[in-house]
Chain A
Amino acid sequence: MQPARVTIAPVERAVHDRGGWPTEAPIDRSEHELADWELLTDALAGALTRRGLLNVDQLRRGIESMAPDEYERASYYERWLFSIETALTEQGVLAAGELDARLAP
């Protein structure tokens, strides 16, 4: 388990700021066939960008705001989804908890 925040020098770094992060673990370079939900997530980000509801810096900021342990567990497009939901909730497109309520069985 990585520490949530590390200091290499000279300032504290957030979980996404990975360059030079001390680790012995090899870089995971494995690829996978994208699932439908991953393709849709990519398309959703593109559509929201064209509608002026998202830009790449907002997308990144949302990802960086994840709790460090969630960030570590999440896959690439899971992080995108987290960020998209954050952006849409902030702008009032989604109500807080709306997605969870709709997805509840």
Chain B
Amino acid sequence: MTYRPGQRVRVAARAHEGHHRTPGYLKGRTGTVERVHAAFRNPETRAYGAEGLPEQRLYLVGFAQRDLWPDYRGHADDRIYADVFEHWLEEAE
């Protein structure tokens, strides 16, 4: 599944034993694809000495702060941006 800028995506709400770069505070949250960075070697296998292949596409995803923090008191337009690998993303309506 390849995503395009502007598309709504949800970060998979799954646990993962071992190294991964998906922050817990984003799991299960929905954001918008801002940019497709490029494909990179997968840190989840590279962390154990493998080559990290196949490469995984990495996206810049933007989230509304208010969607992440229930008691967020900042501006309604405040956003946070994070790099998320494709295999952690799901299509959101």
Query: How many of chain A's residues touch chain B, expressed as a range?
Result: 10 to 19
Instruction: List residues of chain A with CB within 8 A of the CB of B44.
Output: 57
Instruction: List residues of chain A with CB within 8 A of the CB of B68.
Output: 20
Query: Out of B14, B19, B46, which one reaches A11, CB within 8 Å?
Result: B14
Per-residue A-contact encoding for B11-30, CB less than 8 Å = 1, 0 else: 00111001100011101100
Which interface residue of A10, A55, A57, A61 has the most chain B CB atoms within 10 A?
A57
Also in contact, A55 and B46, with CB within 8 A (given A11-B13, A12-B15, A20-B69): yes
- Tell me, in angstroms, the Cα distance from A16 to B14 when the chains sit together: 17
Segment 20-52 of B: residues with Cβ below 8 Å from A: 23-25, 27-28, 43-44, 46-49, 52
User: In the complex, how many residues of chain B place their beta carbon closer than 8 angstroms to a beta carbon of chain A?
Assistant: 19
Q: Closest CB of chain A to B61's CB: distance in Å? A: 14
- Tell me, in angstroms, the Cα distance from A17 to B22 when the chains sit together: 9
- Chain B residue nearest to A63 (CB atoms) is B19
Query: Out of B14, B19, B28, B49, which one reaches A64, CB within 8 Å?
Result: B19
| Cβ contact within 8 Å between A19 and B19 | no
| Cβ contact within 8 Å between B15 and A61 | no
Q: Is A39 an interface residue (CB 8 A)?
A: no
- Tell me, in angstroms, the Cα distance from A13 to B20 when the chains sit together: 11
Q: Closest CB of chain B to A62's CB: distance in Å? A: 9
- Tell me, in angstroms, the Cα distance from A10 to B30 when the chains sit together: 13
Query: Out of A11, A58, A61, which one reaches B24, CB within 8 Å?
Result: A11
- Chain A residue nearest to B46 (CB atoms) is A57
Which interface residue of A11, A55, A58, A90 has the most chain B CB atoms within 10 A?
A11
**Which chain A residues have a beta carbon within 8 Å of chain B's beta carbons?**
8-13, 17, 19-20, 55, 57-58, 60-61, 64, 90-91
**Which chain B residues have a beta carbon within 8 Å of chain A's beta carbons?**
13-15, 18-19, 23-25, 27-28, 43-44, 46-49, 52, 68-69
